[in-house]
């Protein structure tokens, strides 16, 4: 089917896009169904279950399924399409729900995809019951536990995907590395967050470890490993994935400063409000002249960053040239990645999908 | 070796005890080594790694390995001793570290086993660096992530234990159920914590789901399933485990009110200080006469429970007869469990181990 989807009659990019849309929807449906079945199994008929039974599957809905798509395209680099492989890939969306649920608690982000974050939803529910105790504490704890459940369910879904044990055995080392790197990267990010502005090299390293690898490179390698791709293929995909992953996170950091709340579902300039030492903030400091640097330090020192400060801060970043430079860095990496992928070891029918996914990941507005 | 350890020449209980001590120490060493190797792999040479590389293995040290022991005795009900099975059982200690690390954040317990809890250790470290940002927020987030790593590592250790795929395949359903029940039970406990005093039946249900099953019943079933025990054996062990698990948690609740800080490593009367609706508190309310009930309601309404209030509250609980009744309930369950285990389907050499483990779990002071 990858062959036919990337056939000769229609432009590859357009057809790849339609194929990715279909696969993404199928992955989301599989992940949602799995979560809904587990939630019903564990929460049916319980007081707290009235909320958890709907809140957990709800949290899965609306995802972009980027990681499942990378994993499934990785699979398609080695084997023909398969429902079992699609379910295995889809399990990464539950893994992502784990990361998001706990991330929102750690960042105290009230909003996710334009709706109340999980901890906010649990806190609100607790307050509505009129029960004693801190609604915030209950909400935070419930969202952490919900995250734990997603982590367990993700692995359970993968193990029960229908892939044969030999294929799964090839995937586990990649899967375990991805999960550990995710938590370790978040830990590094916590520290980076709190420390004085890091160097550009450190910012790039954190960005790679925190999200780039987790979003693009590892899912792609994982899918390809499941399909039995050889070391040369994995290396080539790893190179592609590393570059696209960096570009993905550079875009994410740009959206964290300049993104539109209506599209991102997060408050305007959220990273500025949280004083995140993200790549664009670090780059701006690096590119700033002495006077710009002083002005940047001044806004960064404001404790309560309101809309006015966000506007001023954004203007200063643009003035340093950092925004434009970020766009260049994203473009450079994406082009280099597509060139790296366009090689002998990756099957022809997967190339169009990889190129389209690279573009989607790095040119998005949400 | 189980045969020889429970041989004829020496009293079973004494020999079982020595055997359990050795196995417990071996399990702890295996779990510690696995955590230390993973921590070194992921954190070596990083700023935050200086702490995480030692703090995570440190957190494993000092555990009682109760869950690994139940799992390994479960294994011994079906098969001869094996190093691979011991490693598989030991992985449950890492799963337990996951639960403890996040539990301490949710409860904001500053102390674990008489030493600073993980989030307190990370917070202290952060404060010592003189970095900006909330030390408490960084500490809490780091401990949540450390918990996530333990959850991932536990499963990785199990999968790589050396047990053959057929044995592992028998264990996964039990393992997944145990992990999900743990999180779901914690969620129920959160709600019970916040709600007005529940009924005795609800308190027992939460107690079973939150800890009894997770500590005794599921590990035992899991180990027996790995060893290929048949349905009749699993049922009988499940019955034993259910009863001992309840007794274990009833003891835990007693220690939460009456335990000695020097032995438990937690503040005296911690459950009272946190207004936990634990079984002993619920039972006291149920057994109290009208005047006692009013006095109990009065101490329960105190926001800041200090040493004086703890003393008074303890005295009131004793006066209702609830403490004595709890001891009876524990004894009844333990005796019934040992009687249930003493049946045709459980091998003779495992019976002494089960009886000794039941006693250890329910007569402990820490």
Distance, in Å, from the CA atom of B73 to the CA atom of B24, rounded to the nearest integer, reads 11
CB contact under 8 A, B144 and A102: yes
Which range among A349-353, B57-61, B250-254 shows the weakest confidence by mean pLDDT? A349-353
Asked if the C-beta of A155 comes within 8 angstroms of chain B's C-beta atoms, the answer is yes
Asked if the C-beta of B203 comes within 8 angstroms of chain A's C-beta atoms, the answer is no
Q: What is the pLDDT of residue B284?
A: 96
- Decide which of A191 and B230 is more confident: B230
What pLDDT, in 10s, does the model give residues B137-165? Answer: 999 999 999 999 999 999 999 999 999 99
Residue of B nearest to A140 (CA): B106
CB contact under 8 A, A186 and B46: no
Q: How far is B192 from chain A (nearest CA, A)?
A: 9
Residue of A nearest to B141 (CA): A106
Q: Which CATH class is domain B10-162?
A: mainly alpha
Most confident of A46-60, B53-67, B121-135: B53-67
The ipTM value here is: 0.90
Q: What is the pLDDT of residue A38?
A: 95
The confidence band for B315, taking pLDDT boundaries of 50, 70 and 90, is very high
For β-strands B111-112 and B115-116, DSSP reports them as antiparallel
Residue of B nearest to A40 (CA): B184
A115: enclosing H helix or E strand:
strand A115-116
Contact status, residue A132 vs residue B194, Cβ threshold 8 Å? yes
Q: What is the pLDDT of residue A12?
A: 44
The confidence band for B50, taking pLDDT boundaries of 50, 70 and 90, is low
Name chain A contacts of B52, Cβ cutoff 8 Å: 187
Structure letter (DSSP) for residue A162: S
Can you list the alpha helix ranges (DSSP code H) found in chain A? 2-5, 12-43, 49-60, 66-76, 83-107, 118-129, 135-159, 165-194, 200-207, 218-226, 231-258, 261-264, 270-273, 279-287, 290-300, 307-320, 322-341, 348-362
Percent above pLDDT 90 for chain B: 63
Q: How far is A5 from chain B (nearest CA, A)?
A: 37
- Decide which of B263 and A337 is more confident: A337
Asked if the C-beta of A179 comes within 8 angstroms of chain B's C-beta atoms, the answer is yes
For β-strands A115-116 and A111-112, DSSP reports them as antiparallel
Q: Where in chain B is the domain with CATH 1.10.600.10?
A: 10-162, 164-366
Question: How far, rounded to the nearest angstrom, does the alpha carbon of residue B15 sit from its chain's CA centroid?
Answer: 24
Which range among A261-265, B256-260, B313-317 shows the weakest confidence by mean pLDDT? A261-265
Query: What residues contact residue A128 under an 8 Å CB cut-off, 6+ apart?
Result: none
Distance, in Å, from the CA atom of A89 to the CA atom of A158, rounded to the nearest integer, reads 8
CB contact under 8 A, A176 and B156: yes
- Return the residue in A174, A183, A189 with the most chain B beta carbons within 10 A, the one to mutate for interface testing: A183
Instruction: Out of A146, A156, A194, name the one closest to residue B133 (CB).
Output: A194
CB contact under 8 A, A48 and B190: yes
Residue A61 phi, psi (nearest 5) = -60, 145
What topology does CATH give the domain A2-362? Farnesyl Diphosphate Synthase (1.10.600)
CB contact under 8 A, B149 and A176: no
Name chain A contacts of B156, Cβ cutoff 8 Å: 172, 176
Number of helices (H), then strands (E), belonging to chain B: the values are 18, 2
As averages over each run of 10 residues, the pLDDT of chain A (366 residues) reads: 38 73 97 96 74 90 94 96 98 97 92 89 87 86 96 98 96 95 85 70 82 91 97 92 93 93 81 88 95 93 91 96 96 91 78 90 84
Q: Examine the pLDDT at B23 and tell me if it is beyond 90.
A: yes
Q: What is the pLDDT of residue B211?
A: 77
Q: What is the pLDDT of residue A1?
A: 36
Name chain A contacts of B195, Cβ cutoff 8 Å: 47, 129, 131-132
Asked if the C-beta of B168 comes within 8 angstroms of chain A's C-beta atoms, the answer is no
Structure letter (DSSP) for residue B209: I
Q: How far is B113 from chain A (nearest CA, A)?
A: 22
CB contact under 8 A, A183 and B145: yes
Question: Of chain A residues 115-154, which have a CB less than 8 A from chain B?
Answer: 126, 129, 131-133, 137-138, 140-142, 144-149, 151-153
Question: Of chain B residues 82-111, which have a CB less than 8 A from chain A?
Answer: 98, 102, 105-106
Name chain B contacts of A37, Cβ cutoff 8 Å: none
Q: Examine the pLDDT at B14 and tell me if it is beyond 80.
A: no
Question: Of chain B residues 47-66, which have a CB less than 8 A from chain A?
Answer: 47-48, 52
Asked if the C-beta of B196 comes within 8 angstroms of chain A's C-beta atoms, the answer is yes
Q: Which CATH class is domain B164-366?
A: mainly alpha
User: In the numeric block, which tokens belong to residue B134?
Assistant: 């909330």
For the entire predicted model, the pTM comes to 0.90
CB contact under 8 A, B106 and A140: yes
Distance, in Å, from the CA atom of B147 to the CA atom of A152, rounded to the nearest integer, reads 13
b/e code A321-359 from CB counts within 10 Å (16+ = b): ebbeebeebbeebbebbbebbeeeebbebbbbbbbbbbb
Instruction: Out of B43, B132, B145, name the one closest to residue A186 (CB).
Output: B145
Token pair 């060493």: residue: B29
Name chain A contacts of B165, Cβ cutoff 8 Å: 165
Asked if the C-beta of B197 comes within 8 angstroms of chain A's C-beta atoms, the answer is no
Instruction: Out of B52, B152, B165, name the one closest to residue A187 (CB).
Output: B52
Contact status, residue A78 vs residue A366, Cβ threshold 8 Å? no
What are the DSSP E strand ranges found in B59-161? 111-112, 115-116
Asked if the C-beta of B37 comes within 8 angstroms of chain A's C-beta atoms, the answer is no
Instruction: Out of B47, B106, B129, name the one closest to residue A144 (CB).
Output: B106
């Amino acid at each position: 089917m990858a062959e036919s989807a990337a056939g000769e009659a229609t432009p590859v990019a357009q057809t790849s896009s339609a194929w990715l849309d279909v696969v993404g929807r199928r992955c989301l449906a599989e992940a949602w169904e799995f979560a809904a079945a587990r939630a019903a199994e564990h929460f049916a008929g319980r007081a707290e279950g009235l909320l958890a039974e709907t809140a957990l599957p709800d949290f899965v809905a609306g995802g972009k399924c980027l990681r499942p798509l990378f994993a499934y395209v990785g699979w398609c680099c080695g084997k023909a399409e398969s429902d079992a492989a699609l379910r295995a890939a889809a399990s990464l969306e539950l893994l992502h729900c784990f990361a998001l649920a706990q991330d929102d608690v750690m960042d105290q982000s009230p909003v996710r995809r334009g709706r109340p974050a999980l901890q906010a939803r649990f806190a609100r529910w607790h307050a509505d019951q009129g029960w004693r105790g801190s609604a915030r504490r209950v909400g935070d704890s419930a969202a952490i536990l919900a995250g734990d459940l997603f982590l367990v369910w993700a692995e359970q879904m993968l193990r029960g995907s229908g892939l044969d044990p030999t294929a799964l055995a090839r995937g586990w080392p990649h899967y375990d590395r991805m999960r550990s790197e995710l938590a370790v990267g978040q830990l590094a990010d916590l520290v980076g967050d709190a420390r004085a502005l890091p160097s550009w090299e450190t910012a790039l390293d954190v960005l790679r470890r925190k999200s780039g690898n987790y979003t693009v490179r590892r899912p792609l390698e994982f899918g390809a490993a499941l399909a039995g791709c050889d070391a040369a293929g994995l290396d080539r995909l790893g190179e592609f994935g590393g570059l696209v992953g960096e570009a993905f996170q550079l875009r994410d950091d740009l959206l964290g400063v300049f993104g539109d709340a209506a599209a991102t579902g997060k408050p305007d300039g959220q990273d500025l409000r949280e004083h995140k030492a993200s790549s664009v903030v670090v780059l701006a400091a690096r590119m700033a002249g002495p006077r710009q640097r002083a002005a940047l330090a001044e806004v960064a020192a404001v404790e309560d960053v309101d809309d006015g400060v966000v506007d001023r801060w954004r203007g200063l970043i643009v003035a340093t040239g950092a925004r434009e430079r970020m766009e260049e860095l994203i473009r450079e990496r994406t082009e280099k990645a597509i060139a790296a992928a366009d090689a002998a070891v990756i099957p022809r029918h997967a190339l169009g999908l990889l190129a389209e996914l690279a573009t989607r990941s790095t040119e998005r507005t949400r």
